[in-house]
Structure 1
Amino acid sequence: MRLSLYLVLLFISSYPSVAQQRTYCNPMDISYRYNFEQLNEKISYRSGADPVIVNHKKEYYLFVTIQGGWWHSKDLINWNYIVPDKWPMEDMCAPAAMSVRDTLYLFQSTFEQRPIFISTEPEKGKLKFYNRWLPRLPKDIGPWDPALFHDDDTDKWYMYWGSSNVYPIFGAELDKSRNLTYAGNNPAQAYKAMLWLDPYKHGWERFGPNHSDPFKPFTEGAWMTKYKGKYYLQYGAPGTEYNVYGNGTYVSNDPLGPFEYAPYNPVAYKPGGFATGCGHGNTFQDNFGNYWNTGTTWIGYNWGMERRIVMNPAGFDKDDHMFANTRFGDFPHYLPTQKIPNQNGTESDALFTGWMLLNYKKPVVASSTLSTPTDTVRVAANVADENPRTFWVAAQNKPGETLTADLGTEREIRAVQVDYIDYKQTVYDSDSTVYTQFKILTSTDNKKWDVVADLTKEPKRDRACAYVQLDKPVRARFVRYEHVYVAGSHLAINAFRIFGNGFGKAPAAPATLTAKRQKDQRNADLSWSKVPGVVGYNIRWGIAPDKLYQNYQFWNDEANSFELRALNVDVPYYFAIEAFDENGVSVLSKVTDDGSGLGKK
Structure 2
Amino acid sequence: MRSILLATALAASPWLANAAQRTYANPLDIDYRYNFEQMNEGISYRTGADPAIVRYGDAYYLFQTLADGYWTSKDLVRWDFVEPDRWPFVGVVAPATLVAGGRLFLMPSAFGPRPLMVSTDPAHGHWTFWTRQLPQVPGATQYDESHKMAEGDAPPPGPWDPGLFQDDDGKVYLYWDSSDTYPLYGAQMDFKLDSREGGEKRLAFVTQPKALLHLDPANHGWERFGPDHTMGDKPSYIEGSWMNKHGGRYYFQYAAPGTEYNVYATGVYVGKGPLGPFEYAPYNPVGYKPGGFVTGAGHGSTFQDVHGNAWNTGTAWLGVNWTFERRIDMFPAGWHDDGQMWVDTRFGDFPHRMPDRKLREGEDTFTGWMLLSYRKPVVASSTMPGHPASTLTDEDPRTFWVAQANESGQTLTLDLGGTPTVRAVQVDYADYASGRYADAPDLVTRFVLQGSADGKQWTTLADLSEETRDRPNAYIELERPRKLRFIRYVHRHVGAKQLAISDLRVFGNADGQPPAAPRGLQARRGTDEREATISWKPVPGAVGYNVRWGLAADRLHSTYQRFADQPTSFTLRSLNKGVRYVVAVEAFDERGVSPLSQVVQIVP
Note whether the superposition's TM-score is higher than 0.5: yes
Shift of 1:592: 0.3
Within the candidate set 242, 251, 267, 1:248 is matched to 267
**2: CA distance, partners of 1:449 / 1:430:** 37
Deviations 1:283-338, CA, capped at 9 Å, x for gaps: 00000000000001011000001000000000001221111100000000000111
**1: CA distance, partners of 2:339 / 2:383:** 53
Say whether residues 1:402 and 2:421 are aligned partners.
no
Say whether residues 1:339 and 2:348 are aligned partners.
no
Say whether residues 1:207 and 2:225 are aligned partners.
yes
Say whether residues 1:359 and 2:373 are aligned partners.
yes
Say whether residues 1:443 and 2:461 are aligned partners.
no
| Contact 2:135–2:205 (CA under 8 A) maintained in structure 1 | no
For residue 381 of structure 1, give the secondary structure of its aligned residue in structure 2: helix
Say whether residues 1:239 and 2:258 are aligned partners.
yes
Say whether residues 1:507 and 2:525 are aligned partners.
no
| Contact 2:519–2:598 (CA under 8 A) maintained in structure 1 | no
Alignment of 1:374-413 (within 5 A): 375=386, 378-413=387-422
| Contact 1:539–1:578 (CA under 8 A) maintained in structure 2 | yes
Cα pair distance change 1:131/1:492, threshold 3 Å? same
Counterpart position of 2:531 = 523
Deviations 1:262-297, CA, capped at 9 Å, x for gaps: 000011000000000011100000000000000010
Counterpart position of 2:557 = 549
What are the ranges of 5 or more consecutive residues in structure 1 without an aligned counterpart? Answer: 597-601
Counterpart position of 1:417 = 426
For residue 391 of structure 2, give the secondary structure of its aligned residue in structure 1: helix
Counterpart position of 2:172 = 157
| Contact 1:366–1:380 (CA under 8 A) maintained in structure 2 | yes
Counterpart position of 2:152 = none
Q: What amino acid maps onto 1:396 in structure 2?
A: A
Greater mean deviation of Cα atoms: 32-41 or 4-13: 4-13
Alignment of 1:457-476 (within 5 A): 457-458=466-467, 460-476=468-484
Q: What amino acid maps onto 2:545 in structure 1?
A: Y
**1: CA distance, partners of 2:3 / 2:495:** 48
| Contact 2:10–2:367 (CA under 8 A) maintained in structure 1 | no
**2: CA distance, partners of 1:199 / 1:54:** 31
For residue 37 of structure 2, give the secondary structure of its aligned residue in structure 1: helix
Greater mean deviation of Cα atoms: 112-121 or 383-392: 112-121
Counterpart position of 1:599 = none
Say whether residues 1:24 and 2:42 are aligned partners.
no
| Contact 1:11–1:336 (CA under 8 A) maintained in structure 2 | no
Within the candidate set 219, 227, 246, 2:238 is matched to 219
**2: CA distance, partners of 1:4 / 1:323:** 20
Q: What amino acid maps onto 1:205 in structure 2?
A: E
Counterpart position of 1:540 = 548
Q: How many residue pairs get matched?
A: 580
For residue 210 of structure 1, give the secondary structure of its aligned residue in structure 2: helix
Cα pair distance change 1:426/1:319, threshold 3 Å? same
| Contact 2:183–2:238 (CA under 8 A) maintained in structure 1 | yes
Cα pair distance change 1:593/1:462, threshold 3 Å? same
Cα pair distance change 1:577/1:154, threshold 3 Å? same
Cα pair distance change 1:11/1:102, threshold 3 Å? farther
Percent sequence identity over aligned pairs? 53
| Contact 2:437–2:497 (CA under 8 A) maintained in structure 1 | no
Cα pair distance change 1:46/1:61, threshold 3 Å? same
TM-score for both structures, normalised by structure 1: 0.94
Say whether residues 1:192 and 2:210 are aligned partners.
yes
Shift of 1:102: 2.2
Within the candidate set 323, 326, 336, 1:307 is matched to 326
Greater mean deviation of Cα atoms: 261-270 or 34-43: 34-43
Cα pair distance change 1:462/1:422, threshold 3 Å? same
Shift of 1:16: 7.4
Counterpart position of 2:196 = none
For residue 431 of structure 2, give the secondary structure of its aligned residue in structure 1: coil
Q: What amino acid maps onto 1:540 in structure 2?
A: R
For residue 34 of structure 1, give the secondary structure of its aligned residue in structure 2: strand
For residue 444 of structure 2, give the secondary structure of its aligned residue in structure 1: coil
| Contact 1:249–1:265 (CA under 8 A) maintained in structure 2 | yes
Q: What amino acid maps onto 2:131 in structure 1?
A: N
| Contact 2:4–2:593 (CA under 8 A) maintained in structure 1 | no
| Contact 1:182–1:190 (CA under 8 A) maintained in structure 2 | no
Greater mean deviation of Cα atoms: 110-119 or 254-263: 110-119
Deviations 1:124-177, CA, capped at 9 Å, x for gaps: 1111111222222213332101011111x2110011111110011111111024
Q: What amino acid maps onto 1:413 in structure 2?
A: V
Counterpart position of 2:145 = none
| Contact 1:157–1:180 (CA under 8 A) maintained in structure 2 | no
Deviations 1:336-395, CA, capped at 9 Å, x for gaps: 1111243xxxx24x2101000001011111110012xxx2xx100001001110000001
Shift of 1:21: 5.5
Deviations 1:93-127, CA, capped at 9 Å, x for gaps: 11111212521000100011222111000001111
For residue 429 of structure 1, give the secondary structure of its aligned residue in structure 2: helix
**2: CA distance, partners of 1:391 / 1:278:** 23
For residue 247 of structure 1, give the secondary structure of its aligned residue in structure 2: strand
Deviations 1:367-424, CA, capped at 9 Å, x for gaps: 10012xxx2xx10000100111000000100011111111111111100000011000
**2: CA distance, partners of 1:202 / 1:504:** 42
Counterpart position of 1:298 = 317
What are the ranges of 5 or more consecutive residues in structure 2 without an aligned counterpart? Answer: 143-155, 193-199
Cα pair distance change 1:68/1:21, threshold 3 Å? closer
Cα pair distance change 1:6/1:232, threshold 3 Å? same
Deviations 1:509-547, CA, capped at 9 Å, x for gaps: 111211001121100010000001110000100012221
| Contact 1:73–1:80 (CA under 8 A) maintained in structure 2 | yes
Within the candidate set 578, 584, 603, 1:576 is matched to 584
TM-score for both structures, normalised by structure 2: 0.93
Shift of 1:488: 3.0
Q: What amino acid maps onto 1:232 in structure 2?
A: Y
Within the candidate set 588, 595, 600, 1:587 is matched to 595
Counterpart position of 1:75 = 75
Counterpart position of 1:52 = 52
For residue 15 of structure 1, give the secondary structure of its aligned residue in structure 2: helix
Counterpart position of 1:566 = 574
